[in-house]
Each structure stands twice: as C-alpha cells, then as structure tokens.
Copies of this chain bind each other. A is one copy, B any other.
Amino acid sequence: MLLDPKNQERILSIQSHVAFGYVGGKAAVFPLQCLGFDVDVVNTVNFSNHSGYGRFGGTRTTADDLERIFQHMEENGLLSPTRLLTGYVPGAPALAAVAQLATTLRQRNPDLVYLLDPDIPPAVLGDAGKLYVAPDVIPIYRSLLPQATVITPNWFEVEVLTQIELKDMSSLRAAIRILHDEYKVPNVVVSSIALKPWLFEALPLCLRPTSPDHPSPEEISSEYLLSICSSNNHANADPVDTSSVHVYLIPFIPGYFSGVGDLFSALVLAHLQPDPKPEPDQTPLSRATTMAIDKTHAILELTQKAAKLLPEEDRLPTDDEQDAVDVDRVVRRMRGRELKLIQGQDIIRSKDLTDKSRRMEPWTTF
C-alpha cells in the first residue's frame, strides 16, 4: 500500500464519464485508486467519448437524478468522504445540485479537502465571434468557490470567474488576490499558462529558461508553459504578506491532448498532504503541484511516444481546413492521443519525481 492504511481516505468524485478514452472521471479515478484512495464515483454524463472527436453522445445526468443518488447515499450513511473532487457538470440545475451537496459536506466536515475544477467550457462562439459562456453557471461557480480548499482553473476560467482580463502582472496579481480574498479560496493553481513575453520578463532571472539557440524571449516562450500556484493563510490578518506564490516551467509538448487537466487536478488532490519534512521554500500546495505536473508531464510524454508509433494517417496534425472536410481525420487523431494512463500506471504510483531537476520554485518577487 502506498498510503498508510490507517489513513482511510475516501474521495467523492463528481464529473463526466466516457465509455472510451480518458477524460473526466476516466482520467481521474484510476490514478486516485492507484494512489490508495477509495473513490466514490458519481457520473454527471455518460457519453460514448469526449467531445473533441466531433461525434459523441449518450446521457446527461439531470439535477433530479443527481439529487436522488445523493439522497440514497445520505440515507445509507455513505456521504462521509474525506475529500471531494468536482469537475464538469452539464448545465446550471445539475451544477446547483452539486453545489448544494458540496456546501452540505463542507458544513459537516471543516477538514474536508475539496478540489473544485471550475470546468467552464469555452467552446461556444457567440454571434460576434467572441467566446461565449453559458452565463447561468458562472454565479453558481462563484458561490461555490468559498467551499473549496483548492481550485485548478485554467487561464480562461480565471478571467471568467474574476472578470479580470489577464494582460500584465498587475492584472494577474489582482485576479489571484480576488480568488484568495473575495472568494476565500486558500489554494489556487493556474496550470498550463502560455509563457507570454510579459510573463517571461516578470520572472526572476534565476527562473527564466535559457536556450543558447533561441535568444529571443518570444522563441523561448514557445518552448514552455507556466504553472503558478498560490497559497494564502487566512489565519493571518494581512493576506498579502502571507500568500506564497510558486512557479514551474513545463517543457511544451505540441499537440492537443484531452483529459490532461482532469488527470492533473486528481493528482493535485491526491498529493495535497500535510508536509512530513517541511522545506522552508515549499508549501503543501507547491509540493502537490510539483508531483502532479511531473506525473502528468511523464504520462503526456508516454502518450506522445506511443502516438508517434501509429500509422501516419492516425497522427496527422491539426489542420482546420482539412479537418472540416474530413471528420475521420479528427477522430483518428483523437484516438491516437488518448492518455496512456494504463501503460503509465507505474508513473502514477511512483513516490519519486521523474524529473528531479524541476519543481515549483518560489516566486518571491510576484
């Protein structure tokens, strides 16, 4: 057993289910089980495959269905998880049902470790060609934020939740401060941020990536993604002084892989543990995020390696024009890029980092 068996941890995971492939619960549950957690699994949709294939379908679990499942679990005394993980929930009524449950579980157990992945689909283009988000889910997510122990929004979700356009360091600082102070989220992880020039310039010199072949910031930027985590100790009167920001430069792997965020969030939750040997420059969140990035990156490398062995027709690059006239082109690419979670399960179980040279580093000048 990887985890102390006396430490009977139980995670309630509420997210999407697909029959084929690895997104949502299919990307999260197996890794959590491998790491020793009993996982209770409520499926918010039951689809054939993820939406990136273009063709997909199945059933959505209604708010009534979810409430009935929660109620039976409650009656049977089966709603005492030590951790809660919520991901994609389709539509405002179902999301409200999940929010109600999360609030109940938080009231019941102040020690509940709740990872909220505010999965806000940005895919719909509005009339004006702008990103359009179903507006009814946003207030529900905002009202749910104070229940969370840790959230893992992407760049876009930070902008939507805080209503701040992230265009420079001061807007980034303001957005993270709003999440900590206004929405009372103690731990924020923003994963997979493009290393824009203004971010590159703001990094402390010692953290900037160097490359002898590519002298310009723009070129170096394209080789890395950035992950930022920020922990805030509300016990202290001055939240600004007690927040701790860490950053990790992730070598960029080209291509779009689905389920990466779901795997990453599950791993952050699994590795968010009290620090047995506290290091002065690390927090429990920075340690968990380091583990999660390292394992997710290693799984992605394995997936990319496997995809390269496929016949050429199964790994044609994204080409919007070609993809539009040949739907099967997209499907073949998607199939070849399903995460190699099963083949990489030893990576998931590992207690050690695959890449010991990288970790979340304190961004003291943030």
Size of the A side of the interface (Cβ < 8 Å), in residues, is: 49
The docked-state distance in angstroms from the alpha carbon of A36 to that of B38 is 20
Judge whether A236 is part of the interface by a CB distance below 8 angstroms.
Answer: no
A299 CB to closest chain B CB, in angstroms?
14
Question: In the complex where A36-B342, A76-B335 touch, is A19 in contact with B57 (Cβ < 8 A)?
Answer: no
Which of A45-53, A108-116, A191-199, A213-221 contacts the other chain? A45-53
A1-22 interface code vs B (CB 8 A; 1 in, 0 out): 1000100000000000101110
A245-281 interface code vs B (CB 8 A; 1 in, 0 out): 0000000000000000000000000000000000000
Judge whether A224 is part of the interface by a CB distance below 8 angstroms.
Answer: no
Judge whether A73 is part of the interface by a CB distance below 8 angstroms.
Answer: yes
A137 CB to closest chain B CB, in angstroms?
22
Contact A56 B34 (CB under 8 A): no
Chain A interface SS verdict (over half): mixed
Contact B33 A47 (CB under 8 A): no
Question: In the complex where A49-B76, A53-B76 touch, is A19 in contact with B40 (Cβ < 8 A)?
Answer: yes
Copies in the complex: 2
Question: In the complex where A78-B20, A343-B5 touch, is A68 in contact with B57 (Cβ < 8 A)?
Answer: yes
Write out the residue numbers on chain B whose beta carbons fall within 8 Å of the beta carbon of A20.
Answer: 40, 73, 76, 78
Interface residues of A in 331-366 (CB under 8 A from B): 331-332, 334-335, 342-343, 345-346
A-B contact pairs, 14 of them (CB 8 A): A19-B41, A19-B42, A19-B69, A30-B30, A34-B34, A46-B61, A48-B70, A49-B76, A55-B75, A56-B72, A57-B71, A59-B59, A59-B61, A76-B335
| Chain A residues close to B by CB (< 8 Å) | 1, 5, 17, 19-21, 26, 30, 33-34, 36-43, 46-49, 53, 55-59, 61, 65, 68-73, 75-78, 328, 331-332, 334-335, 342-343, 345-346
